[in-house]
């Protein structure tokens, strides 16, 4: 366990110095604060407090930025070390390859958690400062958003390891990671919306759509948070699919948790076959 902690600490130091991760984290903070400052505008229409409005908006923002930060952290976890020639030194130490991956995962998850907590925590603090009448129940919504955002980020960190262990060049790993992000948060939803337009009342819309929605961890995250907020003014075609899901929306976060476990197992199996 000591070796796992040591690897995690090293990854934390590297992650904090990663300029792309820092830039993405700053963007996350800026967007969160902008949403807070603008969040009071629609409250009259939705009959809810500004922080709840902000949390609903941040749920959508999270789907785009948190997976990106996670993939920026993890895409070169193994491929980068192969490029630099340090992986052989790591494997020469008395530590299993599963422990190496676990240490990296814990370190990267800590860095991502720090970015999310700072960004969304600052947004919540500013919201309470400008709107002292905000009910404390909204803080529960914000806390839930932070926790589920970290879980979603952990999922994409693990998926990034699959990309990183599957190739031997950092550039290739980066291209694969960006392709994963583009498919899961942009193209996948466009395909689902296209399917809904083609089959408004057909088999896809009534039967397949909820399953496909649950299959994508990013969409499962959004379904969970939007259903938990319970504000009808923020429902979309993708969110409303959660009403017919095979599982209740409160269980939607099982999807990213399962994806995390599967991705970690796959990347560990691949890593055991890697010859640095």
Q: Who contacts 92 (Cβ-Cβ below 8 Å, separation ≥6)?
A: none
Q: What are the φ/ψ torsions at residue 162 (nearest 5 degrees)?
A: -60, -45
pLDDT at 96 over 60: yes
Mean per-residue pLDDT over the chain, rounded = 82
Average pLDDT over residues 142-165: 94
Confidence at residue 231, expressed as pLDDT on a 0 to 100 scale: 47
Q: Could you tell me the pLDDT band of residue 27, with boundaries at 50, 70 and 90?
A: confident
pLDDT at 138 over 80: no
170, 80 contact by CB (below 8 A):
yes
The percentage of the chain sitting over the pLDDT mark of 70, rounded to a whole number, equals 87
Q: Which of 102, 189, 87 is nearest to 154 (CA)?
A: 102
Confidence at residue 235, expressed as pLDDT on a 0 to 100 scale: 47
pLDDT per residue as tens digits for the range 190-230: 998 888 888 777 778 778 888 888 899 999 998 898 887 76
pLDDT per residue as tens digits for the range 81-90: 888 878 788 7
Counted domains in the chain:
1
Supply 167's token pair.
């190739």
Q: Could you tell me the pLDDT band of residue 7, with boundaries at 50, 70 and 90?
A: confident
Q: Which ranges constitute the DSSP H helices of the chain?
A: 2-17, 19-38, 43-46, 50-74, 79-84, 87-92, 97-130, 137-166, 170-182, 188-198, 203, 209-215, 217-229, 237-240, 254-272
CA distance 197 to 245: 19
pLDDT at 236 over 80: no
Q: Could you tell me the pLDDT band of residue 33, with boundaries at 50, 70 and 90?
A: confident
pTM: 0.86
218, 253 contact by CB (below 8 A):
no
Average pLDDT over residues 160-180: 91
The structure tokens 């407090």 sit at 49
Average pLDDT over residues 169-194: 91
Lowest mean pLDDT among 100-104, 107-111, 126-130: 126-130
CA distance 128 to 126: 5
pLDDT at 238 over 50: no
Structural domain range at position 225? 2-272
More confident residue, 30 or 180: 180
pLDDT at 22 over 50: yes
CA distance 166 to 93: 22
Confidence at residue 246, expressed as pLDDT on a 0 to 100 scale: 67
Average pLDDT over residues 61-77: 90
Cα–Cα distances in Å, from 151 out to 146, 185, 276?
9, 16, 31
**What are the contacts of 257-262 at 24+ separation with CB within 8 A?**
257/151, 257/155, 259/155, 259/158, 259/159, 259/217, 260/151, 260/154, 260/155, 260/158, 261/158
Q: What are the φ/ψ torsions at residue 212 (nearest 5 degrees)?
A: -65, -35
CA distance 149 to 89: 34
Confidence at residue 48, expressed as pLDDT on a 0 to 100 scale: 57
138, 39 contact by CB (below 8 A):
no
Q: What is the 3-state secondary structure (H, E, C) of 210-257?
A: HHHHHHCHHHHHHHHHHHHHCCHHHCCHHHHHHHHCCCCHHHCCHHHH
């Amino acid at each position: 366990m000591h070796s796992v902690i040591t690897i995690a600490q090293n990854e934390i130091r590297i992650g904090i110095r990663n300029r792309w991760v820092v830039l993405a984290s700053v963007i996350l903070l800026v967007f969160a604060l902008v949403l807070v400052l603008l969040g009071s505008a629609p409250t009259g229409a939705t009959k809810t407090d500004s922080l709840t409005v902000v949390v609903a908006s941040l749920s959508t923002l999270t789907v785009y930025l948190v997976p990106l930060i996670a993939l920026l952290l993890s895409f070169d976890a193994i491929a980068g070390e192969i490029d630099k020639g340090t992986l052989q030194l790591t494997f020469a130490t008395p530590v299993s390859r599963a422990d190496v991956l676990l240490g990296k995962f814990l370190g990267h998850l800590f860095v991502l958690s720090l970015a999310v907590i700072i960004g969304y925590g600052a947004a919540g603090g500013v919201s309470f400062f400008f709107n002292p009448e905000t009910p404390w129940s909204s803080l529960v919504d914000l806390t839930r958003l932070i926790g589920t955002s970290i879980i979603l980020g952990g999922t994409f960190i693990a998926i990034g390891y699959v990309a990183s262990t599957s190739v031997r060049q950092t550039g290739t790993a980066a291209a694969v990671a960006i392709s994963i992000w583009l498919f899961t948060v942009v193209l996948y939803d466009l395909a689902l919306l296209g399917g809904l337009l083609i089959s408004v009342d057909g088999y896809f819309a009534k039967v397949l759509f909820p399953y496909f929605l649950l299959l994508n961890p990013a969409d499962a995250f959004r379904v969970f948070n939007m259903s938990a907020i319970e504000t009808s003014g923020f429902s979309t075609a993708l969110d409303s699919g959660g009403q017919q899901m095979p599982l209740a929306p409160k269980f939607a976060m099982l999807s990213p948790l399962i994806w995390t476990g599967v991705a970690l197992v796959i990347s560990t199996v691949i890593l055991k076959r890697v010859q640095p």
